[in-house]
Amino acid sequence: MSPPRSGRAALAGLRVLDLGHQYAAANACAILADLGAEVVSVEHPEGNAIRTMLPKKDGQSMWWKVSQRNKTQVTLNLSSPRGRELLLRIAPEFDLLVENFRPGTLEKWGIGPADLERAGASLTMVRVSGYGQTGPYRDRPGFGTIGEAMSGFAHMNGYPDGPPTFPSTTLADGVASIWAVVGALAGRLARLRDGPSCGVEVVDVALFEGLFRIVPTQIPTFQQTGVVQKRPGNYLGDHGVLRNVYGSRDGRWIAVSAVGPVAIRRVMVAARADAQVAEIDAGVMDARETAAVEAFLGRCNEHLLAWSAAADYAALSADLTAAGAVFSPIYSAADIVDDPHYRARDDLVTVQDPELGPLTMQGIVPKFPQRDHRVTHAGGERGRDNARFWGERGLSPQAIVQLRRDGVL
């Protein structure tokens, strides 16, 4: 691991109030914390739904450990009158507030944007929900799977003769968390640019919209041609690119990706596909007819399927490397933790966890080579920082004990 840098963390001094009880909002705040923001995570006294997610070890959820890292952890019952009072008391201390309740919930509890403004808060409020704060579906509950379904993403995934296929992890939530970070920082930058202002600026993030935004072609293709893109499996010839997963003779899987004639030519040179190389040199990839390009890529794919099945992975890798082709073996978690490139880039970090001992998780993204960003701890027990945090805000130890008995903390 490279030594820590001495430069101040990129988001040092930024104060974030994390009201997220689902992964998208919680992960957005974890990203902000990774980059140096001071994040206070507010959990219901009875616990957070993320704690129930599997896998677990010794009762500890891996989701919780990662999504709550680097945060101050306190408890507060936001729906109680006393909890509302305490939330409104501390809100003016923060630059950002991130929440993921169903639209209207915080307003019902008296801690919506207008309530925060009346309490003196001047912050950017990032609101993550299934369908957004407006529109006919705003009141519907939603999780990441629904975002994957509604965005068109699931429709485009899987094999042509099979059902729509969802990702094996919470992709819509993860993508939404990144958009939430973009919105949070854009809102903050706008306030710095426009000068001091009082009030709450809302950033509206819908789970379905995050994935919808990053799929580039489905809507313009439909609007221009009337074609609904089909499920291609791993092969993307109908996108005009050469991409698939190929199996080696010794049971390894290798992903090949090539965009444009130069990259495709390299793959076919590696596979000793003289006929296809000649077609590329003759300009087949510049053909105006879509069918001609798709047919050519189909011939490339058939050649690669036979080529890969006839050789061991080491030979395939050597040929692709020599040709300068873009490829990778399919990594498992075991491959990742054993990979020198992951280690060299500090993409695996280990912290000492009170419940689990040494705990390894993903490192910080993106990298700031001149700044000191680090993971100091994973998510911990409920209310771990209650005594310090609430004590610094005027609550006596006796008051904290009583509020805990009352279900407020």
Does a structural domain hold residue 1? no
Distance CA 198, CA 200 (A): 7
- Same domain for 317 and 244, yes or no, is yes
Does a structural domain hold residue 338? no
Domain span at residue 313 reads: 233-329
- Same domain for 162 and 40, yes or no, is yes
Looking at 295, 329, 363, the residue that finishes a domain is 329
- Same domain for 28 and 157, yes or no, is yes
Does a structural domain hold residue 225? no
Let me know: does 254 contact 246? Beta carbons within 8 Å: yes
- Same domain for 115 and 51, yes or no, is yes
Rounded to 10 degrees, the C-alpha dihedral 378/382/388/394 comes to 140
- Same domain for 64 and 164, yes or no, is yes
Distance of CA 343 to the CA centre of its chain: 21
DSSP structure string for 159-180: -TTS-----SS-HHHHHHHHHH
- Same domain for 297 and 351, yes or no, is no
Looking at 329, 361, 383, the residue that finishes a domain is 329
pLDDT of residue 297: 96
- Same domain for 78 and 155, yes or no, is yes
Does a structural domain hold residue 226? no
pLDDT of residue 237: 84
pLDDT of residue 137: 94
- Same domain for 137 and 166, yes or no, is yes
Distance CA 230, CA 82 (A): 53
Nearest to 239 by CA among 168, 163, 156: 156
- Same domain for 142 and 24, yes or no, is yes
- Same domain for 308 and 394, yes or no, is no
CATH code at 265? 3.30.1540
pLDDT of residue 403: 97
CATH code at 67? 3.40.50.10540
DSSP structure string for 68-100: TTT-EEEE--TTSHHHHHHHHHHGGG-SEEEE-
Overall number of domains in the chain: 2
pTM: 0.93
Does a structural domain hold residue 250? yes
- Same domain for 177 and 302, yes or no, is no
Beta-bridge mates of residue 351: 359
For residue 126, the one-letter residue type is V
Does a structural domain hold residue 79? yes
What are the average pLDDT values for consecutive 10-residue runs of the chain, which has 409 residues?
Answer: 71 97 97 98 96 95 96 98 98 97 97 97 96 95 92 92 91 97 96 82 96 93 92 88 96 96 97 97 92 95 98 98 97 96 96 97 96 96 96 96 97
- Same domain for 99 and 127, yes or no, is yes
Does a structural domain hold residue 337? no
pLDDT of residue 195: 77
Does a structural domain hold residue 2? no
